[in-house]
Amino acid sequence: MPAPPALAHPFRAVLIVAVAVFMTSLDNLVVGVALPSIKADLGGSLESLEWTVNAYTLAFAVFLLTGAALGDRFGRKRMFLLGLVLFTASSAAAALAGSVDALIAARALQGLGAAIITPLSLAILADAVPAERRGPAIGLWGAVGGLGVALGPAVGGAVVEGTHWSWIFWLNVPVGLLLLPTAIRGLRESHGEGGRSTPIDRPGLVLSTVGLFGLTFGIVRSQELGWGSTTVLVSIATGLVVLAAFLAWQRRTVAPMLPLRLFRSVPFSATNGLVFAMFFGMFGSIFLLGQFFQIAQGMGPLEAGLRTLPWTGMPVLVAPIAGILADRVGARPLLTLGMALQSAGLVWLAAVVSVDASYGSLVVPFVLSGAGMGMVIAPVTGAVLAAAPVALAGKASGATNAIRETGGVFGVAVLATVFASSGSYVSPEAFTDGLRAAVPVGAAVLALGALVGLLTPGRRPVALPEALRAEDGAAAGPDPVAGVVAPAPAPALERV
C-alpha cells in the first residue's frame, strides 16, 4: 500500500491522542470518591453503586481487542473519532442520569468508547511520529495519560466537596467537543495489516468478547461474593474455556484479530508479562491505599486525593524523561529498575503504615513507587512497539491494553481478598491490619515483574521472528522505536 503523506506537525497528533487518553484514564478513578454523593442523590444499594465503576472496567477490558481490530480494518482515525464521539456523548448521559441504572448504562458506554480510543491512540502515534523521535513522543503520551490517573482522586474529591457529582462527567464534554474538530484536521488515516481489504474476524470478535467478559465479570464479582461462589467459578471457568477457543481459532483463521505470532517474540511476551505484573501490583495497592486516608485517618475525599499526589503524580514528571532515556540506554534497565522501585516502595509502605502514621513517613515511599511507575509507563509502550511490526501496532497495543486491564482487575480482586482475610472496614485499626497484609502481595508480584523485565528489549534491535519480519519487510529490519536502535535505511513508519 502506498505510504500516506507525512504530517507537518506530528507532535500535534501526539497531543491529540494524549489528551483523549487523559480523559479515559481520569474516568477510571474519578468516580470512586463520588459514590457516597451519588448514593445520596440517586439512592440504590452499595452493590449497585459499585457497578458504576465495574461497568466501565468491564466494557473497557472486554472491547480493547475489538477496538484495535476495527481500527485496523475500517481506519484508525475513523474509529478513533467514533470512540471520541461515544465517550463524549456517554459522559453527558452519565451527568444527566436520573437513576443508578441509567448511570451504569452510561458508564458502560463510556468504557466502550475508551476501549476504542486507547489502543488506537498508540497506533496513531506510531504512524504519525518518525521512528527516531518516537521516544519523547511516547514519553509525552504516557505523562499525559498518567496525569489523568494522578488527578482522578483529587478531581473527584474537589467536585464532590465543591459542587454536584455530575460535574465529574460534564468536565469531559467540552474537552471532547474541542478535541473532535482538532482530531479531524490534525490526524491522518492509516490501517493495519491488510488494510481495507482485511476481512472482519467475526468468530474472533464474538469469542474474545464473551471470553473476556466471563473472566473479568467473575473477577469483579469475587470481591462481593468470594472466590468460592458458584457465580464466580462458573463465570471464570466459562471465560477461560471461551478464551482458549479464541486462541485456537486465531491459529486457524487467515486474518486473526490477535496475531499469535506476535508472542513468538520473547521481548514482546516478556513486556506483556511485565505489564500484567505492574498493573496487578500497583492498581491493587492503589485501590486500598487510596482509601487509607479516609477510612483509617478520617480525612475528606479532596484532602485524601491530594495526599496521594506524590505517588500518582510522579509519573507525570518521570515518564517524559524515561521516554528520552529509553532511546539512549534501551528499555530494559528502565523497566527493571522501575519495577524494583515500585516493589521497594510498597514494602516500605507496608512497614510504616498505621492509624496514626504521620504523612511525612509516607511521602518517600509514595515518591519511590510513583517514580518507578513513571520509569515503566513510557519505555514499556516503546518496548511493545519495538517487538512488533508497525502494521501490527494497533493489534499489539490492543493485546497489551487488554492484558493491562486484566492485570488491574486481578490485582484489585486478589488484594481485596487478602485484605478481607486479615482486616475489615469495621474500624481504622481493622482496615490498617488488612492493608498491611495485602500490600506485600502487590510488592511480591512487582518484584517478579522486575525479573521478567530482564527479558524485555535492550539497546540492540529486537530480532523479530521470521513470520513477523515477513510482515514488516525483511530488508528493512525491525521497527526502530523507543529503546531500540535499528540500522534500517527508512523508518518503518513509511510502510504503514
- So what's the pLDDT on residue 358? 92
CB burial class (10 A; 0-12, 13-18, 19+) of residue 414? buried
CB 385 within 8 A of CB 142: no
pTM reported for the whole predicted model: 0.75
Half-sphere exposure of residue 47, counting CA atoms within 13 Å on the CB side? 6
CA distances from 336 to 268, 279, 339, 379, 418 (A): 15, 15, 5, 11, 26
Contacts of 424 (CB under 8 A, 6+ apart): 430, 431, 434
Which grid cell sits at 228? 468460592
Residue 188, SS3 per DSSP: coil
pLDDT of the residue at 473: 44
One-letter identity of residue 363: V
Q: How far apart are CA 5 and CA 16, in angstroms?
A: 19
Q: Residue written as cell 517487538?
A: 387
CB 129 within 8 A of CB 2: no
Helices (H), 98-171: 100-128, 134-162, 167-170
Whole-angstrom distance, CA of residue 167 vs CA of residue 19: 18
CA distance 167 to 84: 19
Averaged in consecutive runs of 10 residues, what is the pLDDT profile of the chain (496 residues)? 53 86 80 77 74 83 83 89 96 93 93 90 81 72 72 76 86 92 89 69 88 87 84 94 93 83 85 91 80 83 80 82 82 92 95 92 93 86 74 76 82 84 88 92 95 80 52 38 30 26
Contact status, residue 398 vs residue 67, Cβ threshold 8 Å: yes
Contact indicator for 259, 399 with CB cutoff of 8 Å: no
Interior CA angle at 323 toward 369 and 128, to 5°? 135
Task: Specify the amino acid at residue 245.
Answer: A
Residues 54-74, buried b or exposed e (16+ Cβ, 10 A)? bbbbbbbbbbbbbbbbbbbbb
Three-state DSSP class for residue 70: helix
Residues 339 and 277 sit within 8 Å (Cβ to Cβ): yes
User: Torsions phi, psi of 162, nearest 5?
Assistant: -105, -20
Q: What is the DSSP letter of 392?
A: G
- Return the pLDDT at 432: 93
Q: How many CB atoms lie within 10 A of CB 364?
A: 14
Do the Cβ atoms of 207 and 240 come closer than 8 Å? no
pLDDT value of position 150:
65
Give the per-residue pLDDT at 477.
Answer: 36
Is 284 within 8 Å of 414 (Cβ atoms)?
Answer: yes
